[in-house]
Amino acid sequence: MLTRKQHELICFIADRLNATGVSPSFEEMKEALDLKSKSGVHRLISALEERGFLRRLPNRARALEVLRMPERSGTPGRSATAVVRKAPTRPAMPEPANDVIEIPLHGRIAAGVPIEAMEGAQMLPVPAALLGSGEHYALEVAGDSMVEAGILDGDYALIRRTETAHDGEIVVALIEDQDATLKYFHREGAMIRLDPANRSYDPQRYPAEQVRVQGRLSGLLRRY
């Protein structure tokens, strides 16, 4: 069952694809749905992806594919039943545009010795194709302890906000509620081991109660 805004968005995208063969830009979708920001569009698209109505083609920021459509009659978000029909056929895939989403940029994070992660009011524009579902923020990497994982000093780490992690994932770990670091996450009984990706650095071990996961790495943005 779709919300009213989700229903409006899937219909708007399908109508545009049917008419022109080109999916609308994030700005056009924002204006059509009277939303305040492109991040609202991103959340709606992610929800439609999770429900199997929409698909974003990889490496094509503006390439949206409608997989199925809800019945347009009735009031979306109130009916318990929905009749699903196949999405209309459309012309060949258009060239992608450079749609971006602005996510919060929360200062610098150490990829070496833990340093304080400073909260900031800046926003970082990120290509929409780099982000999946969920809430994201960015941190500027400081240090070289993750170079063997391809994470360099000055990169922007794109972080999916979460409080849980599996062994082997790269996470933002907050240590004793004051220092944050970007490392591989491992559990060792009552301890947490944070591994670097640089042989010059040693693993860091802390009691589990001193470590809180703040997010998982979902991508990198590098400026040349």
DSSP letter for each residue of 51-99: TTSEEEPTT-TT-EEE-EEE-SSS-TTT-S---EEEPPP--SPPPP---
From 25, 55, 86, the end of a domain falls on 86
User: Comparing 26-30, 92-96, 109-113, which segment has the lowest mean pLDDT?
Assistant: 92-96
What is the biggest distance separating any 2 CA atoms in the chain, rounded to whole angstroms?
A: 63
**Residues paired with residue 86 on neighbouring β-strands, in sequence order:** 68
pLDDT digits (tens, 9 = 90+) for 28-64: 888 889 888 877 888 888 888 888 888 876 545 557 8
- 183 tagged catalytic: yes
- 86 tagged catalytic: no
pLDDT digits (tens, 9 = 90+) for 130-182: 787 788 989 999 889 999 999 999 999 999 999 999 999 999 999 988 788 99
User: Comparing 36-45, 61-70, 123-132, 212-221, which segment has the lowest mean pLDDT?
Assistant: 61-70
Positive or negative, the CA dihedral 26, 31, 34, 38 is positive
- Residue 187 CA to chain centroid, in angstroms? 25
Which candidate, 5, 75, 132, places its Cα nearest to that of 13?
5
Active-site residue, selected from the candidate residues 23, 25, 39, 145: 145
211 plus 130 within the same structural domain: yes
Active-site residue, selected from the candidate residues 5, 30, 38, 183: 183
| Residues 182 and 111 sit within 8 Å (Cβ to Cβ) | yes
| Whether pLDDT at 73 is above 60 | no
pLDDT of residue 151: 93
**Residues paired with residue 195 on neighbouring β-strands, in sequence order:** 184
What is the pTM (predicted TM-score) of this model?
Answer: 0.56
Distance CA 7, CA 44 (A): 10
Residue 112, domain extent: 101-221
pLDDT of residue 80: 36
109 plus 179 within the same structural domain: yes
Q: What percent of the chain has pLDDT over 90?
A: 29
Stretch 23-32: mean pLDDT: 85
pLDDT of residue 97: 46
Note whether residue 203 is domain-resident. Answer: yes
Q: Which helix (H) or strand (E) holds 5?
A: helix 4-20
In terms of pLDDT, which residue wins out, 93 or 151? 151
Q: Number of folded domains in the chain?
A: 2
Note whether residue 213 is domain-resident. Answer: yes
Note whether residue 168 is domain-resident. Answer: yes
Between the CA of residue 194 and those of 9, 46, 91, 136, 156, what are the distances in Å? 42, 31, 49, 22, 20
pLDDT of residue 111: 65
pLDDT of residue 62: 58
| Residues 223 and 159 sit within 8 Å (Cβ to Cβ) | no
pLDDT of residue 38: 78
CATH number for the domain spanning 202: value is 2.10.109.10
Q: What percent of the chain has pLDDT over 70?
A: 78
